[in-house]
Amino acid sequence: MSVKPPKDINIVPFVNVDNMMKLVLDVGIETFLTELAVYIEEDFKRWELFDKAARVASHSAEGVIELMPTSDGEVYGFKYVNGHPKNTRDGLQTVTGFGVLSSVDNGYPVLFSEMTILTALRTAATSAVAAKYLAPKGADCMAIIGNGAQSEFQAMAFKAILGIEKLRLFDIDADATDKCIRNLQGKGFDITCCDTAEAAVEGAQIITTVTADKQYATILTDNMVGSGIHINAVGGDCPGKTELHKDILLRSDIFVEYPPQTRIEGEIQQLADDYPVIELWRVIAGEQTGRNGERQTTLFDSVGFATEDFSALRYVRSKLAGTNFYDSLDMLADPDDPRDLFGMVLRAADAA
């Protein structure tokens, strides 16, 4: 049974975890990722319309809690998200989140949504959008180093958008790789399980690093990366957390989302503040060149930016009409007289 979106401005559609899963499966995972990528690409092309600021972060020894706001002048959006690598030891998610879209015209929310699953989808879709412009032409093999919660989403996005068919997987936790292989069975991949990161990158034209430890790490050393490779560095996304040896950065063309944020959180925190990087939106908009030759080594230093969450929420909202994949939340007070909020509270006693 389908339902119509609430007409009452005070009733807000809410997509909970169960409904998000049902929506993704109803649309189809590959179709969802492909359509979401279109929204992300569209919003990168209109980058200059958006309010932009590095996310507001509260760091602790155990992780980080962040708010990621933006607006295109008509709609305002934000995401609450955490990153706590230790959580897996307690049976908890490393990353959780929720998001909100609101009308700039009156400030009223128009969507609440879970964003734990949606963040995984938008991260993978953004990686694939970047690779569309940066990866070697005809690439069909990707190494994924770090086979945790994000790995399958990355694989599916690269298959749907770039046609990746071969995967080479490695994780220091063999159970994580087994999980990834199990989840991707029957999805059209030729999968090789590797014993080391060095083995995983052999023959791969694209290398995705998506590890979770909050530390300066060297997942890829310089001798592991040949010329002509595209690196999709996803795991390094906060101060003090990196995955690549500095020498790889120094011989790569580096593409980023929002430099003021990436210089704090990304791989380029290892470099000088004025080290030249290329903003991804300029490549997508046709202002600058992405891949320019077979021997070029490209690096997408991905940390995630608020416009991508905005795109994801905008896409989800577009898919809700005519479905029952949301609940209607009575979130906003609606007194008969907008000036009489106190009287509304008192009248609740009469109704009880």
Annotated domain spans of the chain = 11-117+307-333, 133-304
Question: What 3-state DSSP class applies to 189?
Answer: coil
Helix (H) or strand (E) holding 193: strand 190-193
CA distance 37 to 125: 5
Q: Which pLDDT score, from 0 to 100, does residue 236 have?
A: 73
Sequential DSSP letters for 289-334:
-S---TT--EEEE----HHHHHHHHHHHHHH-TT----EEEE-S--
Token pair of 256, please?
A: 């980023």
Q: Which pLDDT score, from 0 to 100, does residue 239 have?
A: 81
Nearest of 110, 112, 136, 102 to residue 232 by alpha carbon? 136
**Residues in the chain where the model's pLDDT stays below 70:** 1-8, 213-214, 352
Q: Which pLDDT score, from 0 to 100, does residue 2 have?
A: 37
Protein fold of 133-304? Rossmann fold (3.40.50)
CA distance 206 to 141: 7
Threshold 0.95, pTM exceeds: no
186-234 confidence digits (pLDDT tens):
999 999 999 999 999 999 999 999 987 667 788 999 999 999 999 999 9
Distance of CA 159 to the CA centre of its chain: 17
Helix (H) or strand (E) holding 126: helix 116-134
CA distance 194 to 326: 41
Q: Which of 237, 253, 337, 350 is catalytic?
A: 237
Q: What architecture is domain 11-117+307-333?
A: 2-Layer Sandwich (3.30)
Q: Is there a catalytic annotation at residue 72?
A: no
Q: Which pLDDT score, from 0 to 100, does residue 163 have?
A: 97
